[in-house]
Amino acid sequence: MAPSTHSGFLAPLIAPTRANFLHAIESQGYAILPDVVPRHLLGPLRLELEAAIKEEEAQLRGRYPATNYGMVLICSLYGGALLRIIDERALMEPFEWLLGEGCIIYAYTSSSMPPGSGNYSNRIHVDCPRLIPGYITNVGATVLLDDFTERNGGTWFLPGSHTRAEEPEEEEFYKDAARVIAPAGSVFYFNARLWHAGGKNETANWRHAVTINMCRPYMKQRIDIPRAMAHMDLSGVGDRVLQKLGFLSQVPANYDEFYAPEERRKFRQKPE
């Protein structure tokens, strides 16, 4: 756990240009872009996430570790703004600058912090197990639904650590760590190999965020999102959102699916 006497230096927000973004990700492993999420979406996103947390807590109480309290594993299952946000061009475009237009969601989870405590995210960790020098497989984006402050658990991270395989010692990490201190609507993009840790929430209120982890379309998702959402009516969801959710990059299950007309194939992802 981070020493309470050390606040870290505050990571700067950068101008959301492609050149600035790519340089920041390559050199430091992260970029914080302001005003990515429209203000009118923040309220619905926060309310829907709170409802999802309550629903999952009721369904899964006693079935997962207490440190996972507040964890929603597949935010898209709850539809509404949590689904519509995937269609926000300003949010998706930075992913595509790094991974190509065909990138898909590897994981889409809550990154909320309960009042007066921490959770599973407080450990020093990375969000991608593989390290391929010079090649990014996964990019994360933490979408701030509330202001991130030092008191409510703004994320800690070690700038430039995306190129190292070994976990930094706690003393080294917090000595050189920066913090995500930014207003709601900002997005913390990071190479998923960046070493980071959630901060402890010392306030009496929840601090809400969601994290979208994107990967290359040939990779397996953390959870099979199309199969998990098979029961949902997605007739009003556009192809772009379905593509990002992985519906256009599913492995055929039989000959009929493999030889189906192109418009009905399980895998019709455009080649990169």
> Would you place residue 4 in the very low, low, confident or very high pLDDT band (cuts 50, 70, 90)?
very low
Lowest-confidence pick of 10-24, 58-72, 203-217, 225-239: 58-72
Best CA proximity match to 9, nearest among 128, 123, 148, 180: 180
Domains plus CATH for the chain?
A: 9-264 (2.60.120.620)
- Token pair listed for 237: 């969801």
pLDDT at residue 262, as a whole number: 85
Span 167-182, mean pLDDT? 96
Which residue bears the tokens 């807590």? Answer: 57
Query: What proportions of the chain, in percent to the nearest 5, are helix, strand and coil?
Result: 35, 20, 50
**Number of neighbouring beta carbons within 10 Å of residue 59:** 8
Residue 142 phi/psi, 5° resolution? -90, 115
> Would you place residue 179 in the very low, low, confident or very high pLDDT band (cuts 50, 70, 90)?
very high
Span 104-129, mean pLDDT? 94
CA distance 131 to 195: 12
> Would you place residue 114 in the very low, low, confident or very high pLDDT band (cuts 50, 70, 90)?
very high
Contacts of 150 (CB under 8 A, 6+ apart): 7, 179, 181, 199
Q: What is the DSSP letter of 85?
A: G
- Token pair listed for 131: 């390290």
Question: Is the model more confident about 69 or about 55?
Answer: 55
